[in-house]
Amino acid sequence: MGLAPVWRLRKTQAGGPSAGELADGDWITLKQAVPACTACALHKARTQTVLGVGDEKAQWMLVGEAPGAEEDRLGEPFVGQAGKLLDNMLAAISLKRGENVYIANVLKCRPPGNRNPEPDEVAKCTPFLKQQIALIHPKLIIAMGRFAAQTLLATDASISSLRGRVYKYEGVPLIVTYHPAYLLRNLPDKAKAWADLLFAKRTMASL
């Protein structure tokens, strides 16, 4: 009888393994490791961690920045106005949250006051995202917003310069678009996001 694979830990510490200490594993251990993580200072102010939501076998994976206040309270990414806009964006290309779609953020804990993530927080949390992507093994990743795109593509280029092309993250095709929260503040760029979604749909159809 086979046993479920477990994370290989290079070491353990009080409060559980940090992101950087996970080598490989399964969802069960990831779901235990993230709420126990104290690798960066963001753990001090969080209500709860926000790992992600959706179909763990999804072909589509969307990656945003970090939980906001509502996400921190509810434990789910992309709720509130930005979440509604994201759901509408998904519906426009015949997708629905939770159905062949998985949604996550680069950071699993809320930065205080919704400030931008710090580089050391991104560095410490990214291994969790990397493990999620490996477990889901999506056909296409959509990086939404500057932090997701710059983190996954290891670049400091702007969103506007990264749009419209297919990249690869760990072998998975990846495209870039704006974050829904940005679009709420910059309505004229919604048309560009719509173009990105159509590009994503065409890209998925070609994979």
Kindly compute the dihedral angle of the four CA atoms of residues 155, 96, 172, 175, in this order, to the nearest 10 degrees. Answer: -40
Under the binding rule (CB under 6 A), the answer on residue 33 touching ligand SF4 is no
Under the binding rule (CB under 6 A), the answer on residue 63 touching ligand SF4 is no
Under the binding rule (CB under 6 A), the answer on residue 124 touching ligand SF4 is yes
Closest separation in Å from C-beta 42 to ligand SF4: 4
Nearest-angstrom CA–CA distance, 155 and 146: 10
- Measured from the CB atom, is 19 or 58 closer to ligand SF4? 19
Select the residue interacting with ligand SF4 from 82, 86, 109, 197 (CB under 6 A). 109
Closest separation in Å from C-beta 79 to ligand SF4: 18
Under the binding rule (CB under 6 A), the answer on residue 40 touching ligand SF4 is yes
Stretch that binds ligand SF4, among 41-49, 57-65, 70-78, 158-166 (CB under 6 A): 41-49
- Measured from the CB atom, is 70 or 189 closer to ligand SF4? 70
Task: Read off φ and ψ for residue 178, nearest 5 degrees.
Answer: -75, 155
Q: Give the contacts of 120 (CB within 8 A, at least 6 positions apart).
A: 40
Under the binding rule (CB under 6 A), the answer on residue 34 touching ligand SF4 is yes
Under the binding rule (CB under 6 A), the answer on residue 39 touching ligand SF4 is yes
Under the binding rule (CB under 6 A), the answer on residue 108 touching ligand SF4 is yes
Contacts with ligand SF4 by CB under 6 A lie at 19, 34, 37-40, 42-43, 49, 107-109, 121, 124-125
